[in-house]
Chains A and B, each alone.
Chain A
Amino acid sequence: MSKIAASEIAFIEHFDSFNSMMTSTQPNWLNQKRADAFTNYRTNGLPTGRRGNESWKYTDVRDISNTAFANSSEDLITSITEKDLLDSSHLNKNWSTLVFINGVYSSSLSTQNPNDGIQITNIKDALGSHGQIIERHLGKYIAPDDDPFVLLNTAFINDGAFIYIPKGIASQDPIHVIYFSTSETDPTISHPRTLIVTEEFSETTLIESYVGTPKAKYFTNNVTEIVIGEESRVDHYRLLLDNPDSFHIGTTVVHQEKASTFSSTSLQKGAALGRHNLTSTLAAPQSTCNLNGLYMTTGSQHIDNYINIEHIEPHTTSRLYYKGILDGSSRAIFGGTVTVQRGAMKTDAQQKDKNLLLSREAEVDSKPALFIYADDVICGHGATAGHMDDNSVFYMQSRGIDLLTARRMLIKAFASEIIEEVKIDSLREYLEDLFVSFEDELTLLQASSI
């Protein structure tokens, strides 16, 4: 443990120069927050298996630790064009879209069409105009707050998306945040931060896309905080479409007030190593969260979902439904924990994780868990993993459908439960196309597999 990993040396060097640059531009409270986070980060450094850290038990981040990430040059950032975005991401010109390249806001690639006093801007600018709101909420709902990647993100807060929905406002169109990453010879790193605060009786749809240049080597370490006011709803779509050589560690923290609804769809297709921590806290009565997910892995990809749902108050409801399709020698981890705290009577919580394994070498560890400290609750959980059903394939073939088409239809059917739930037409169509490109990569769907 005495040996300091390449990335940790880089982080220390970066932090000192970054910190001295930021101190003059950022408010004191934020400088303090960043400095504290970095101190805390340095206590433990990046997680390793040896430290017996339960939440990182199944995901080895040594590939990240062993990489010395470099700062990205201005030229690299400004070289990205709209075509690069189009090639890697869904783009809808009618939506407000905030684009960040390696974590740096690009006003030329962004479009802002806000209505009715909605604020859609970057954090750097918002610190001036909405400093108080940011100070009130930033980092307030992250618990436990000792995750090294979250601490690193906080230590390096520079920019990201800030969205504020005032009382009673329903945003017409989705708000799209694109975190685009790229690199030259040296691997790059970014720590984008997103904060969305919604007041009472509002409605918003937020889409986050994590994408990058093909073949670029980078690490995206993001944190997104979602604060949902009373009687409000947030529909959230998170698309992890980073290139297959990249690293992605993301944390989403959701804080829900009374009778609020959070619905999320998390779609994960990219990254060599991908991890998403999602924590939803049902902090007030009648709040509801619906978390859907679909992870699709090929080759030697490793995707880890670490989800915590906290029922704090009575009459709260949660639905967690994740599905995985795994090919090659890929590996997926599903860790879903629902905790029903002492006061949370009448909690209704269901969680399910289903996996379709398309090769002998693919592997999934699915660990749904329930901790119940209250009476009078309805809770259920289950996990399944299986190969394609021979009976189903034969049934389809016995109707004249050829083997490859039968397999394709069954794989699609497995995913459709999640994709069909996507309510935004243009996004759903994009995801359907994306799914076809995933199918094209699958070994079982190649003519040579028969």
Chain B
Amino acid sequence: MLEVHDLHASVGEIKILRGINFTVKKGETHAIMGPNGSGKSTFANVLAGRPEYTVTKGEVLLDGKNLLSMEPDVRAREGVFLAMQYPVELPGVRYNQFLKAALDAIREHKGEDQIDIRAFNQLLKEKGDLVEINPDLMRRNVNEGFSGGEKKRSEILQMALLEPHLALLDETDSGLDIDALKTVADGVNRLQDPEKSVILVTHYQRLLNYISPDFVHVLIDGKIAKSGDHKLALELENKGYDWLRETIPPVSETSGESAS
């Protein structure tokens, strides 16, 4: 469902992604690991359409459609969801109004009617129970004053409600206590069905104890340095990343590594 071909992206003059090749099929879960600053968040954000990144080369297809030509909101309506590493606080925007606007936009795109307010409240309650989020949070402003862990749960709640086809989770496990981690993992596992795919960005093996990825990729300096199955994550836990750095030539502009 997602095909990434030779993707290069920059911020201003700074080159961050340097030729990513990557394929995710329906129903698969992929984990992306890699050292700080290697471009993991950039990759996830480029897929979601964050405007500050410029794609300088390459192509991304979602179900055969050119993803990069779509506005971020159109991507979301086409089923892409990004759980952000740093969820944004929206002072003055009520959580439930925000979620209803989002859900209605996605429903409208599918040719469905707006959800009626009572059905919405019911749905929100169900999904909230599922991710064990404090219901009081939903009466507040979006993420405003939420704790770090509450923000991450809030992202998972949004995902559960919007039911994306392709979920990008950028370090949703960071800053979570062990119970929250299980809840998040649960939320992700519940989302999984043969039609849906997940890309997890994580630093920790511990999440992968709960969510078993079909593939693990290591991103270094804007390129995929190695791909493997879940055993690669264990190997990384023991050996770190340095042994992989040598396997790619330093500062070479030629692309070629392929993954998946």
A interface size (C-beta, 8 A): 24
Is A9 an interface position by the 8 A CB rule? no
Contact with A along B68-109 (1 / 0, CB 8 A): 000111011100011010011011110001110111011001
Contact with A along B144-185 (1 / 0, CB 8 A): 000000000000001000100000000000000000000000
When the two chains form their complex, are residues A400 and B90 in contact, meaning their CB atoms are under 8 A apart? Answer: no
Residues of B within 8 A of A415 (CB): 92
When the two chains form their complex, are residues B101 and A401 in contact, meaning their CB atoms are under 8 A apart? Answer: yes
When the two chains form their complex, are residues A396 and B49 in contact, meaning their CB atoms are under 8 A apart? Answer: no
Of the listed residues B52, B73, B93, B109, the one surrounded by the most CB atoms of chain A closer than 10 A to its CB is B73
Is B48 an interface position by the 8 A CB rule? yes
Instruction: State which residues 122-143 of B face A: CB under 8 Å.
Output: 141
Residues of B within 8 A of A396 (CB): 90, 98, 102
Instruction: Tell which of B71, B76, B92, B105 touches A417, judged by Cβ atoms closer than 8 Å.
Output: B92
Is A392 an interface position by the 8 A CB rule? yes
Contact with B along A203-229 (1 / 0, CB 8 A): 000000000000000000000000000
Residues of A within 8 A of B92 (CB): 410, 412-417
Contact with B along A399-420 (1 / 0, CB 8 A): 1111101100110111111000
Is B65 an interface position by the 8 A CB rule? no
Distance in Å: Cβ of B96 to nearest Cβ of chain A: 13
When the two chains form their complex, are residues A402 and B88 in contact, meaning their CB atoms are under 8 A apart? Answer: no
Instruction: State which residues 394-444 of A face B: CB under 8 Å.
Output: 394-403, 405-406, 409-410, 412-417
Distance in Å: Cβ of A26 to nearest Cβ of chain B: 49
When the two chains form their complex, are residues A397 and B76 in contact, meaning their CB atoms are under 8 A apart? Answer: yes
Instruction: Tell which of B51, B98, B109, B141 touches A390, judged by Cβ atoms closer than 8 Å.
Output: B51
Is B231 an interface position by the 8 A CB rule? no
Distance in Å: Cβ of B177 to nearest Cβ of chain A: 25
Q: Given A391-B88, A392-B88, A395-B87, is A400 in contact with B109 using a C-beta cutoff of 8 Å?
A: yes
Q: Name the CB-closest residue of A to B159.
A: A399
Instruction: State which residues 154-168 of A face B: CB under 8 Å.
Output: none
Distance in Å: Cβ of A334 to nearest Cβ of chain B: 20
Distance in Å: Cβ of A182 to nearest Cβ of chain B: 37
Give complex CA distance A409, B141 in Å: 12
Q: Given A391-B88, A400-B106, A413-B90, is A405 in contact with B49 using a C-beta cutoff of 8 Å?
A: no
Q: Given A394-B51, A403-B73, is A413 in contact with B91 using a C-beta cutoff of 8 Å?
A: yes
When the two chains form their complex, are residues B84 and A395 in contact, meaning their CB atoms are under 8 A apart? Answer: yes
When the two chains form their complex, are residues B73 and A400 in contact, meaning their CB atoms are under 8 A apart? Answer: yes
Q: Given A390-B51, A394-B51, is A400 in contact with B105 using a C-beta cutoff of 8 Å?
A: yes
When the two chains form their complex, are residues B72 and A409 in contact, meaning their CB atoms are under 8 A apart? Answer: no
Distance in Å: Cβ of B169 to nearest Cβ of chain A: 13
When the two chains form their complex, are residues A397 and B84 in contact, meaning their CB atoms are under 8 A apart? Answer: no
Residues of A within 8 A of B72 (CB): 394, 397-398
Residues of A within 8 A of B245 (CB): none
Residues of A within 8 A of B99 (CB): 399
Q: Given A395-B90, A413-B93, is A402 in contact with B73 using a C-beta cutoff of 8 Å?
A: yes
Give complex CA distance A389, B143 in Å: 15
When the two chains form their complex, are residues A399 and B162 in contact, meaning their CB atoms are under 8 A apart? Answer: yes
When the two chains form their complex, are residues B91 and A409 in contact, meaning their CB atoms are under 8 A apart? Answer: no
Contact with B along A370-393 (1 / 0, CB 8 A): 000000000000000000011110
Residues of A within 8 A of B105 (CB): 399-402, 405
Distance in Å: Cβ of A395 to nearest Cβ of chain B: 4
Give complex CA distance A415, B93 in Å: 11
Instruction: State which residues 222-255 of B face A: CB under 8 Å.
Output: none
When the two chains form their complex, are residues B101 and A409 in contact, meaning their CB atoms are under 8 A apart? Answer: yes
Give complex CA distance A446, B87 in Å: 28
Instruction: Tell which of A389, A403, A409, A416 touches B98, judged by Cβ atoms closer than 8 Å.
Output: A409
Give complex CA distance A46, B97 in Å: 50
Give complex CA distance A1, B99 in Å: 62
Instruction: Tell which of A397, A410, A413, A417 touches B73, judged by Cβ atoms closer than 8 Å.
Output: A397
Distance in Å: Cβ of B193 to nearest Cβ of chain A: 20
Residues of B within 8 A of A403 (CB): 71, 73
When the two chains form their complex, are residues A398 and B48 in contact, meaning their CB atoms are under 8 A apart? Answer: yes
Is B50 an interface position by the 8 A CB rule? yes
Q: Given A391-B88, A396-B90, A416-B92, is A401 in contact with B52 using a C-beta cutoff of 8 Å?
A: no
When the two chains form their complex, are residues B50 and A400 in contact, meaning their CB atoms are under 8 A apart? Answer: no
Q: Given A400-B76, A409-B98, is A394 in contact with B71 using a C-beta cutoff of 8 Å?
A: no
Distance in Å: Cβ of B210 to nearest Cβ of chain A: 25
Give complex CA distance A436, B105 in Å: 21
Give complex CA distance A395, B93 in Å: 12
When the two chains form their complex, are residues B93 and A398 in contact, meaning their CB atoms are under 8 A apart? Answer: no
Give complex CA distance A413, B97 in Å: 11
Distance in Å: Cβ of A208 to nearest Cβ of chain B: 26
Q: Name the CB-closest residue of A to B72.
A: A397
Q: Name the CB-closest residue of A to B84.
A: A395
Residues of A within 8 A of B106 (CB): 400
Instruction: Tell which of A397, A412, A416 touches B49, judged by Cβ atoms closer than 8 Å.
Output: A397
Distance in Å: Cβ of A102 to nearest Cβ of chain B: 39
Distance in Å: Cβ of B7 to nearest Cβ of chain A: 19
Q: Name the CB-closest residue of A to B90.
A: A392
Q: Name the CB-closest residue of A to B97.
A: A409
Of the listed residues B75, B92, B106, B141, the one surrounded by the most CB atoms of chain A closer than 10 A to its CB is B92
Of the listed residues B50, B106, B141, B162, the one surrounded by the most CB atoms of chain A closer than 10 A to its CB is B50
Residues of B within 8 A of A414 (CB): 91-92
Residues of B within 8 A of A405 (CB): 101, 105
Residues of A within 8 A of B77 (CB): 400
Distance in Å: Cβ of A352 to nearest Cβ of chain B: 13
Residues of A within 8 A of B81 (CB): 398-399
Instruction: Tell which of A392, A401, A416 touches B102, judged by Cβ atoms closer than 8 Å.
Output: A401
Q: Given A391-B88, A394-B50, is A399 in contact with B98 using a C-beta cutoff of 8 Å?
A: yes
Can you add 9 more A-B contacts, CB < 8 Å, to A398-B49, A399-B102?
A392-B90, A394-B88, A397-B73, A398-B72, A399-B99, A400-B106, A401-B105, A402-B71, A409-B101
Give the top 3 A-B pairs by smallest Cβ distance, nearest first. A413-B92, A399-B102, A400-B76
Can you identify 8 A-B contacts, CB atoms within 8 angstroms?
Answer: A390-B52, A395-B84, A395-B88, A395-B90, A396-B90, A398-B75, A400-B73, A400-B109
